Amino acid sequence: MSKNIFLLETDDQLCSLIVPILEGRGHTVKREISGHSALESVKEENPDLVIVGEQLSDIDGVGWIIKIRQTDRTTKLAFLSQIWRDTEFYQQVTRELKVSQIFHRPIKSALFGPQIDALWADRRLGPPAGTATIPGQVPVAVGAGVGDPSSALPLPGTTSEPAVPAFSSIPLSASMPMPIPGQTPVSSISTLADATLLAFRQKFSKSLPSRIKQIGEIVDRVERSSPDPKEMAEARRLAHNLKGTSRSCGFDRLGALAELLEYSLRDMVELQTDEWEKIDKGIQDARKESERVRVQFMDYVPTAEELQNLNPDSAKARVLMVCQEAQPKLSLPTNGTGGIPLEIISVPPGSDVLQKAVEKQLDAAMIEIMPGQREYAFQLARELRSLPGYDNLPLGFVYDLDHDDDRSDATHAGASIFIEKPFSQETLHEALQHLITIREGGRSRVLIVDDDEDFTELICVALGNEGMLVKALHDPFKVIDVLEDYTPDLMLLDVMMPGILGFDVCRKVRSSGRWQDLPIIFLTAQTDLNSRLSAFDAGGDDYLIKPVINAELLKRVKVRLDKARMQRERQDRDVLTGLLLRRAFSDSLSALLSESERHNFNFSLSLLDIDHFKKVNDTYGHLAGDRVLAHVGKLLRKRFRVEDLRGRWGGEEFILAFRHEKKETMQRALHRVLEELRKVEFKGDRGESFNVTFSAGMVNFPDDGTNTHDLILSSDRRLYIAKKNGRDQIVITD
């Protein structure tokens, strides 16, 4: 619907941004820089909207609004503010001067047009007739003065408890500037459209009555003369969670009331003071405030886009499905212990597959082997693994394995999973989850351990919008099992959880050698010095206080991830080949051995040595020798499965371990690598051409040894046999 809009603004650069946006949406825009001239124009032309800048050529913007309202109370106005103001300013401008919308600079072009159109839209979260809406706040009566009881609901600062703020910006906004402490920005919903958290606020508001009811039920059933400390501690924990999540959602007044309630419950237990009157009043006040919050969203129905953005695609693991027929839509979980949310990208076999893989940041791929296309599927898998950044892309195949050669060739191509058709959703889901969790590298993975499901969802949205894979765990007692399955790059950990403190969870994690270097950031609403010190004493790396500011959360998470990644690369990887160094490989091999012993699995191990490598260095130069080592390392990284271990044992010697596979199968797979290496033409330092091969010895656990020492010794013995028998071969028996 086309509207006639006046733009009163002296900033040419800002106008060059705003005018095309408005005209592109079909509106007619007339620009004025003189306030006095604009007053006359508005009287004559009666525009649908006047957008007023901070400063005009002859009067400031607020002064112009005051003048127009002295004679005109109906023209719709919007204000372009250069800075964040205090609550009193916003109340005056929106309630007394009837400004419908306040925009803050810098203007976001993607949001400005829809925000303008929304001024005439039939708002789903709209005020009653005769009220004006401040985005992100409650409706207020048109023309009512500050504190006027005729307003539909009170604004911040108009309640009987001014020390407790009502609504503020939601800190977890990807786009909103950080608010000045003590101020209440009014463009919350507008600026939050970028992060699409309005739907989450509505969802959280629905849970408030049951949350407060839980606290009230505990308080009602305890003996007032001798309250059970465990019951009171649980009530305090629930109030603590309510405080943190409410404030992180922008419901500051409710968060402040929950904090007062938490303190009263704490004093009751720790100081043994009589706080019953305060506790009862606190529950009553929180219940009233939660109802007031809930009413604001009662008629609000999130759009499909908003619901989608509560679980953004960037937070999902992307799996490429190469198949002839479109796969059925999977009903997959969004969070929690059910697995990582997935985005399935289905493409038919053909030339578009590699292009699609380049366009998308894949986390895994599943390839269907059609009749007569066996070699195509294996070659496609190898080509996918050869793409930049996909050295360790997890792969799976859908087909019926009829021969041992199929399995060895598929393993050589990188297949970690095989599923037969027809398969159920559950089978496919489990297979894809396995592929996602075994990948090392790729997109960063974050595990958040917090019993508050609403808060974890809020964090998942924020981190997911940054492209991270996020898994939420609400039962802290399962943390070790989930760590083993999910292998995160970083953990966010709450302090107050049912039955255990986050500090104890952190100590438990740190007691495992595998997780001693995992970055751990505590997230909690506790602000006292002892809590912060306890976090570091328990082994935490950082500490963030709820409500969490989005920019600070993302910055700290990214810094910790980058630091951990660099440290891991320096300590564990050989610079030349990109393979695990001897110490790191030995640690991983010990973990594989322990796992195989526990579950009665087998695995195979191989030592391989480049044939006549000293001759390569002496004849073709040491730089040529380095090129050979680097190429072998690259070849080993791209072949086999993601979960297989690859290391540089020393010099020209490499070591491999193949999880859950016997040596007979892996001998054939490794022989395919040997065939590939034979065909590679290397160049010497003076341009001469040469070829290389390798020799290998392979053993099987537990048949050829039950500990790492014996297995490596047996493999080395068979490597010696291979060299003695003429090299360029793989030996699996004595």
Residues 10 and 82 in one domain: yes
Residues 319 and 419 in one domain: yes
How large a percentage of the chain has pLDDT more than 70?
Answer: 81
Residue where a domain terminates, one of 245, 276, 305 = 305
In a domain, 175, yes or no: no
Q: How would you label 297-328 residue by residue, b for 16+ Cβ within 10 Å and e otherwise?
A: beebebeeebeebbbbebbbbbbbbbbeeeee
Q: How far apart are CA 526 and CA 536, in angstroms?
A: 14
**The domain that contains 469 carries what CATH number?**
3.40.50.2300
Q: What pLDDT score was predicted for residue 434? A: 81
**The domain that contains 617 carries what CATH number?**
3.30.70.270
Catalytic residue among 652, 664, 675, 676: 652
Residue where a domain terminates, one of 171, 192, 213 = 192
pTM for this prediction: 0.51
Residues 632 and 712 in one domain: yes
Residues 546 and 668 in one domain: no
User: Cβ distance 327 to 392 under 8 Å?
Assistant: no
Residues 153 and 36 in one domain: yes
Q: What pLDDT score was predicted for residue 84? A: 61
Q: How many other C-beta atoms lie within 10 A of the C-beta of residue 348? A: 13
Overall number of domains in the chain = 5
E-state strands within 325-372: 342-347, 364-368
Tokens of 616: 């390569």
Residues 154 and 269 in one domain: no
Q: What pLDDT score was predicted for residue 338? A: 53
Looking from the CA of 183 toward its CB, the CA atoms found within 13 Å total 15
In a domain, 668, yes or no: yes
Per-residue pLDDT tens digits for 97-125: 889 888 877 676 656 777 788 787 543 33
In a domain, 169, yes or no: no
Q: What pLDDT score was predicted for residue 117? A: 80
Residues 316 and 298 in one domain: no
What domain range includes position 54? 4-160+183-192
Residues 22 and 131 in one domain: yes
Residues 590 and 537 in one domain: no
Residues 478 and 606 in one domain: no
Q: What pLDDT score was predicted for residue 225? A: 81
- Exposed, middle or buried, 34 (CB in 10 Å: 0-12/13-18/19+)? middle
Bond from prior residue into 106 cis (ω within 30 degrees of 0): yes
Q: How far apart are CA 286 and CA 209, in angstroms?
A: 9
Q: What pLDDT score was predicted for residue 612? A: 94
Q: What pLDDT score was predicted for residue 305? A: 55
Q: What pLDDT score was predicted for residue 182? A: 32
Q: How far apart are CA 412 and CA 640, in angstroms?
A: 5
Nearest to 136, CA basis, from 304, 301, 249:
249
In a domain, 174, yes or no: no
Q: How would you label 213-242 residue by residue, b for 16+ Cβ within 10 Å and e otherwise?
A: eebbebbeebeeeebeeeebbbbbbbbbbb
User: Cβ distance 7 to 19 under 8 Å?
Assistant: yes
In a domain, 455, yes or no: yes
Number of helices (H), then strands (E), in the chain: 25, 26
Residues 54 and 152 in one domain: yes
* Ranges in the chain, pLDDT < 50: 122-195, 328, 331-337
In a domain, 171, yes or no: no
Q: What pLDDT score was predicted for residue 4? A: 93
DSSP letter at 443 equals S
**The domain that contains 242 carries what CATH number?**
1.20.120.160
Q: How far apart are CA 53 and CA 102, in angstroms?
A: 10
Tokens of 79: 């204000």
In a domain, 167, yes or no: no
- Exposed, middle or buried, 501 (CB in 10 Å: 0-12/13-18/19+)? middle
Strands 653-659, 603-610: pairing kind: antiparallel
Residue 466 bears catalytic tag: no
E-state strands within 391-537: 395-398, 415-419, 445-449, 469-473, 490-494, 496-497, 500-501, 520-524
Nearest to 450, CA basis, from 500, 508, 387, 394:
500
Residues 412 and 335 in one domain: yes
In a domain, 87, yes or no: yes
Looking from the CA of 726 toward its CB, the CA atoms found within 13 Å total 1
3-state secondary structure of 44: helix
Residue where a domain terminates, one of 545, 572, 599 = 572
